[in-house]
A and B are shown apart, each in its own frame.
Chain A
Amino acid sequence: MPERRFPARFQILAYACGTLLLLSLTLWHYLMGHYARILPAAILATLVAGAALLTQRRYLQRGSAYIVLISGYLAIAVEAPYLGTSISLWMGVPPILTTLLLPPGAALLLNMLLAPMWLLLISIALPAPVSGTHYVTLVVISILPLGWYMQQSRLLKSTDHLDTRNGIISRDTLSERLVAEVERARALNQSLSALVIHLPQVDMADEQFGQTTRDMLLMTFCRIVQRGSRRGDALGQHQHNVFWLLLANAGEAGALIVRERLMQALGETRLAEIGAIQAQIRICQLADDESAERFEQRLISRGLNLLEPDT
């Protein structure tokens, strides 16, 4: 699920509304002389006010949502015995509050877990079967409007890893792209070359300096490759430290030039902890009658050769 971003202003307004509500409740109890019920309402009002203040910090948003949720639960639970028949109205508040404040799955689970408690509270004043059906119906129906949201965010998550990251094509998409490039080279009667690039420092950077250094290494590498190759040449990550650069319409001479250019640029770059980027690059050419699968196999075995330690 993508990161939840409440527009903070709306949320603060809603929490302020809740604070005001609980303050009016406190005032009402004071005026009516229900002195025992003043303290809980006053404490809950303070809690919700605090949550409204906390909302401005992004990392505290989830926490403040939980504070408001618990305050809402407690307020309803404390008042429930005094509500009489109108409890059928107020029982609808906790599930709605949960659905609005929590992600859909968690909200559904929590509502179902808390159902016995609320139903017990309702049963003081009302026949259980009818109000129980109403409660469960409300819980289920309140989730449904989020359906589009749930569906789309799950779709987004499942397509996300297939897309390119920082201009590097992921492994699944890479072989799809290779098939397309081979077919294009055949249709247009062009040559196709590929560079298999091994970066031995990736493992070392990850183990010794952590992920940040590794990401920096990959980003720098990616930038250098983009600068050294032409627009539309596909750079893909086949293994975590083996990359393929597909050069369309490039013969052996062109691929050699690109390789020299890359080697030089990588050698000249200095990274903070790693120093110059080392790379081993092999050139593969698409043969005249070679299928895409064979070519891919050849690239894979070339990559494996590179991974073996030098003898």
Chain B
Amino acid sequence: MQRKYKTPLAGLFLLGAGLLAVIVWQESDPIAQALLAPSSVLLALLAWHNLTPRVWRLVVPCCALQLAGLLWRAPLDYAIGLWVWPMLLLPPQPRALRACLLVMAAFGWWQVQSTLAAPQSFLSGMLLSGLMILGLARAAEHTHLRQELENRHRLAPGKAFWSLSRLRQDIEIEWSRRQRENVHVELLVMRPRQRGYSARERLGECLPALTRAFEGCYRVNSHTFGVVLVSPDAQHAVQRRDALIAALPMECRVRVAAVTPDLDPLALGHALAMQTDSLYLAREEESDHA
């Protein structure tokens, strides 16, 4: 999605992959080679990929397993790899994986310390635990960054595509405008039937073009998009909604709800995930009643 924000980063990933490839080339032990080569390929692949938290969730265990294998196979040559453990704690990942990494780091240290004299093995163990704690402290910054990301309004610079927190705010504004202006306002949430990142990305690219400037496009959750449609009356609303659904670039499941102050877009998104029909209209009475 934000391709231009990762070019220097992609260069670093390629550099890392290249350096690992050099190490593989210098290595004579086939098993160590087999352990290092996949990491090199993995880093090269990552350079072309979007670094979403989901990608990291796959990459971190892979790297951890390879590192553990390497420290087990050649603790003397790759002792320096021991210090990569604290860095593996940094990417966004579930808590269980972090605990797992701590155990694996202890295993890695155990492999390495067998080659060292007693005082050095003690000191290295202590240093590793200190660095792991520092890594945890640094990883906690991500939580903070995540909160800030949730609170921002615009998802990408220059695009009229907005976040969930903006949608919540706009729902309240649209509700008060609806009462003043006597218009028909409804929230459409949609989810492509096709699975996969590319389908969602395509829908996300198309939506701002399909909607008019005053109809906001929102990202409700990672699978669901939302559009607030404003029409003069219910009849126009049906026409507008049908036209929009017909223009969508792929088959989507759609759920429609009239905008009320207590409308929760996330709950709507969850209901949409369960929905089997292509189109579901929340009853009109609800809005009239409210």
Contacts and interface: CB of A to CB of B under 8 A. Distances in A.
Given A144-B12, A147-B51, A86 B5 contact: no
A59 interface: no
Contacts of A162: 153-154, 157
B91 interface: yes
Contact of A180 (B12, B124, B127, B213): B213
B19 A136 contact: yes
6 contacts: A5-B144, A97-B131, A144-B43, A146-B90, A159-B155, A231-B176
Contacts of B91: 145, 147-148
A154 interface: yes
Interface residues of A, number: 75
B177 A141 contact: no
A79 B133 CA distance: 24
A140 B16 contact: yes
Nearest to B13: A144
A89 B82 contact: yes
6 tightest A-B CB contacts, nearest first: A17-B130, A10-B137, A184-B214, A89-B79, A92-B83, A92-B80
B88 to A, nearest CB: 6
Interface in B67-98: 77-84, 86-88, 90-92
A107 to B, nearest CB: 11
Contact of B145 (A2, A145, A183, A232): A2
A269 interface: no
Contacts of A164: 153
B137 A11 contact: yes
Contacts of A231: 172-173, 176-177
Interface in A140-199: 140-156, 158-160, 162-164, 176, 179-181, 183-184, 187-190
B123 A100 contact: no
Contact of A134 (B80, B87, B117, B214): B80
Chain B contact-residue range equals 35 or more
Interface in B220-268: 230-232
Interface stretch (A18-26, A212-220, A278-286, A300-308): A18-26
Contacts of B78: 134
B214 A183 contact: yes
A249 interface: yes
Contacts of A249: 177, 180-181
B217 to A, nearest CB: 12
A99 interface: yes
Contact of A142 (B82, B87, B160, B231): B87
A91 B142 contact: no
Given A130-B26, A137-B16, A189-B232, A18 B9 contact: no
Given A144-B12, A156-B149, A89 B80 contact: yes
A266 interface: no
Nearest to A1: B145
Chain B interface, >50% SS class:
helix
B22 A133 contact: yes
A225 interface: no
B154 to A, nearest CB: 5
A99 B2 contact: no
A33 interface: no
A106 B12 CA distance: 15
Contacts, number: 217
B180 A93 contact: no
Given A24-B126, A142-B87, A4 B80 contact: no
Interface in B123-156: 123-124, 126-127, 129-131, 133-138, 140-142, 144-145, 148-149, 152-156
A228 to B, nearest CB: 15
A199 B173 CA distance: 27
A90 B81 CA distance: 10
A10 B214 contact: no
B79 A159 contact: no
A145 B123 contact: no
A14 B80 contact: no
B5 to A, nearest CB: 6
B103 interface: no
B119 interface: yes
B139 to A, nearest CB: 9
Interface centre among A162, A176, A189 (most CB of B within 10 A): A162
Interface in B32-58: 43, 46, 51-53, 56
B116 A86 contact: yes
B129 A2 contact: no
Given A14-B133, A137-B16, A156 B148 contact: yes
B210 interface: no
A47 B131 CA distance: 17
A17 B133 contact: yes
A275 B19 CA distance: 66
A181 B214 CA distance: 6
A30 interface: no
Given A100-B135, A144-B12, A148-B51, A188 B23 contact: no
Contact of B137 (A14, A28, A137): A14
Contacts of A137: 16, 19-20, 22-23
Contact of B51 (A18, A88, A151): A151
Contacts of A135: 80
A163 B152 contact: yes
A54 to B, nearest CB: 15
